[in-house]
Amino acid sequence: MKPYNNAPITEAILDIKTSLPPDIFLTHLQEFQEFVKSDYPVRKERRSFEGGVQFKSGSAPEFKASPEKIDGYLFHAEDGKSIVQVRLDGFTFNKLRPYSNWEVFNAEAKRLWTQYAKIAKPNSVSRIALRYINRIELPLPFSDFKEYILTAPEVATGIPQALAGFFVRLAIPNEEIGATAIVIETIEAIKPDTNKLPLIFDLDVFKGVSMPPDTDEIWAILNQLREYKNQIFDKSLTDKTKELFK
């Protein structure tokens, strides 16, 4: 698939989940700042919490959450458009619009991952994922979503056909490469000063693995995931939609 001149990508995310040795702590991850401070000078703590629902006989379910804890750090570029996350369970590189191309995005992610691997010393990699969030502005009016997108919600004949909102989630496995794609489609509110309907087309493609952190197979898999992601994106859209990206 040839790249579009005006691709609708709002965010690209590359994620690698890891298992770290027991003697690697947050203090080790702080060392990452020295490596990235010229390009990613803004450091923020990444916090997480765990929660669950407790059921007791004769009373309503009760939600219980553990206190928030720091599990890593986020380093932001000065303009906030690029973010690298280093965590006790993995690594993530986020690129917000403008997104140039795969080669630039992939090369930067690989550069940052290499440094993370040096500092965090992962025992293994367990999951590799690539996610692209697209925001496609569909010109109004139109009578059928399938004018623009082929995987779309349908309303049964005989009831009002207008849609004020929808949320579609599909899990599509690819047995050939052992990966799964999660496709989410939804719409945002129309702004009063525009005649365009924002369609969110969210593609998250991932593969469970078990491999060392220094193998080139990680990047070969990411290329496979990208090709699968592109296949779904390209086959899901009509030529009329693709014209919007030229």
d(CA 79, CA 88): 26
| Residues 148 and 241 sit within 8 Å (Cβ to Cβ) | yes
Mean pLDDT of 10-39: 96
Give the Cα separation of 39 and 84 in Å (integer).
10
**Mean pLDDT, range 14-42, rounded to an integer:** 96
Q: What angle do CA 95, 96, 101 make, to 5 degrees?
A: 60
Alpha-carbon distance of 186 to 168, in angstroms, equals 6
Evaluate whether 203 touches 131 at the Cβ level (below 8 Å): yes
Cβ atoms of 174 and 181 closer than 8 Å: yes
**Percentages of the chain per state (helix, strand, coil), in multiples of 5:** 25, 40, 35
Q: How far is CA 60 from CA 51, 53, 65, 218, in A?
A: 16, 10, 16, 46
pLDDT in tens, 190-234: 888 889 999 999 999 999 999 999 999 999 999 999 999 999 999
The pLDDT value recorded for residue 54 is 66
3-class secondary-structure state, position 152: coil
Q: How is residue 237 written in tokens?
A: 């859209």
Which positions ≥6 away from 196 have C-beta within 8 Å? 137, 138, 139, 140, 190
Global confidence as pTM:
0.90
| pLDDT, tens digit, 9 for 90 and up, residues 62-93 | 766 666 788 999 999 999 999 999 999 999 99
